[in-house]
Amino acid sequence: MREAWTDDRLDDLNRKVDEGFLAVNKRFDRFEDEMDARFNRVDDRFERLETKFDDRLDSIQRTMFLGLVAISGTVVTAFVGLASLIILQG
């Protein structure tokens, strides 16, 4: 191993280090672009699933509301029927 570092050797080392960092930066840029594309695809899938999920929840809410209306109608009809029987008996 040499003990003396000349300015030329230091400049050469500096250039090699800079080139190495540029190469690493290019690789990271490609990696970031690829990851952005993948995350965009995942985001699109989640948006589609969210829409499906919202549609299903809306359907469940409609069904529950119609069931409540039907049960309430049945209870009111039964009450009116019992009230009319009591009135007719009395």
User: Who contacts 2 (Cβ-Cβ below 8 Å, separation ≥6)?
Assistant: 9
Contacting residues for 9 by C-beta, under 8 A, at least 6 apart: 2
To the question of pTM greater than 0.85 for the whole model, the response is no
Termini Cα distance of the chain: 119
List per-residue pLDDT tens for the chain, 90 residues long: 566 778 888 888 899 999 999 999 999 999 999 999 999 999 999 999 999 999 999 999 999 999 999 999 999 999 999 999 999 887
